[in-house]
Amino acid sequence: MTKEIKNNDPYKLAGVDIEAGNSLIDKIKADVGATQGPNVLGNIGGFAGMFKLDGSVKNPTLVACTDGVGTKVALAQENNNLDTIGQDLVAMCVNDLITCGAEPLFFLDYFATSALDVDQAALIIKSIAAACKDSGCALLGGETAEMPGHYVGKNFDLAGFSVGIVDESKIINGSNIKNSDAIIGIESSGPHSNGYSLIRKIIAESSASQDEINSIVSMVLKPTHLYPELIKEILQTIKVNGMAHITGGGITENIPRIIPTGLNIDIFKDSWEMPEAFKWLQAQGSISDGDMYRIFNCGIGMTLIVDQSLKQEAMDCVKKSGYEVFYLGNVHDRDTDTPVTYL
């Protein structure tokens, strides 16, 4: 007699659980729906998300950014701390988007895993939805993919992209930056989502006590700050000539990306104190100051470049929103081959 096969779903036997995917949609419907206003057409579960432009911008220009969380995901997994990793994903996209003066409209995520853990995925998407709401944009849709054999064990990865809008006449591209402009630094919450391959290596090789390691892990897993609402408020009253989101490449590489040819910048090293987590990483990893400024944000998550006459007003606006702010440096037109000088 032939033995009966209890589970004859060939896809499930291959490692992909369609029913788990359907269960996830049920779990996240309310969280996703809470981010969606009247501009969103249709419901979750369709083949595409639809967002209706309402004509509030005179000369609309769409802006798009995409990013991932990188190996911060691995550190979060290793320490069973996935509650806010979705915020990191949203932040890395919308914080790029706002640097040209745009406001986020909507966000889509891509969650790929070896085997779908519905509760884990729902927790992450809940964090994505909350971050979208805090950034003033809709979670328009996303994709969840099970890929056993490609992702190993319980591994997963996150990617996403955001789309925003800006009036063409109000685009900020750095072209108005000039000699003597002030550079303002806005605090980060930690390394945000950059440098984690090195961070994980330093932690793994450290001889520090477990309590000390746990403390550092807690610091570096803090979710990335969401800057859209802050920047929106600043732009309502202050003319900003340029903005730089301090991501991979640190202060050294990101600010020069928006500086016009012929100009360079001074950064005042004493204008802010490097947070404890960065000091620990530098000491444990024997990292030079130059490499720290090139790899990590070192406590500065976003920078604004404004006319000197607007410096204090801009700093006061940042403080009013509850962020620490620093007079980070100046723009110069002196003749030098070095784009950034640390003083």
Query: Could you tell me the CATH number of the domain that includes residue 47?
Result: 3.30.1330.10
Domain assignment present for 86: yes
Contact 50, 31 (CB under 8 A): no
Same domain, 160 and 193: no
Same domain, 126 and 194: no
Domain assignment present for 5: no
Same domain, 272 and 150: no
Torsion of CA 122, 50, 159, 304, to 10 degrees: -110
Q: How would you write the pLDDT of the chain (343 residues) with one tens digit per residue?
A: 444 445 566 545 545 555 655 565 665 556 556 666 777 777 666 677 788 888 888 899 999 999 999 999 999 999 999 999 999 999 999 999 999 999 999 999 999 988 888 888 889 999 999 999 999 999 998 888 888 888 888 888 999 999 999 999 999 999 999 999 999 999 999 999 999 999 999 999 999 999 999 999 999 999 999 999 999 999 999 999 999 999 999 999 999 999 999 999 999 999 999 999 999 999 999 999 999 999 999 999 999 999 999 999 999 999 999 999 999 999 999 777 889 889 9
Same domain, 138 and 93: yes
For residue 52, which of 63, 67, 37, 65 has the smallest C-alpha distance? 37
Instruction: Tell me the DSSP string of 288-318.
Output: -HHHHHHHS-TTEEEEEEE-GGGHHHHHHHH
Contact 315, 161 (CB under 8 A): no
Same domain, 70 and 160: yes
pTM of the model: 0.89
Domain assignment present for 177: no
| Residue 151 β-bridge partners | 148
Contact 114, 150 (CB under 8 A): yes
Same domain, 89 and 137: yes
Same domain, 95 and 231: no
Which residue segment(s) compose the domain that 82 sits in?
A: 10-170
Query: Which amino acid belongs to residue 78?
Result: E
Separation of alpha carbons 282 and 116, rounded Å: 37
Alpha helices (H) along 139-249: 196-205, 210-220, 228-237
Same domain, 188 and 288: yes
Q: Looking at residue 270, which CATH number applies to its domain?
A: 3.90.650.10
Q: How many structural domains is the chain composed of?
A: 2
Same domain, 116 and 205: no
Separation of alpha carbons 30 and 316, rounded Å: 37
Same domain, 99 and 227: no
Same domain, 135 and 166: yes
Domain assignment present for 218: yes
Domain assignment present for 322: yes
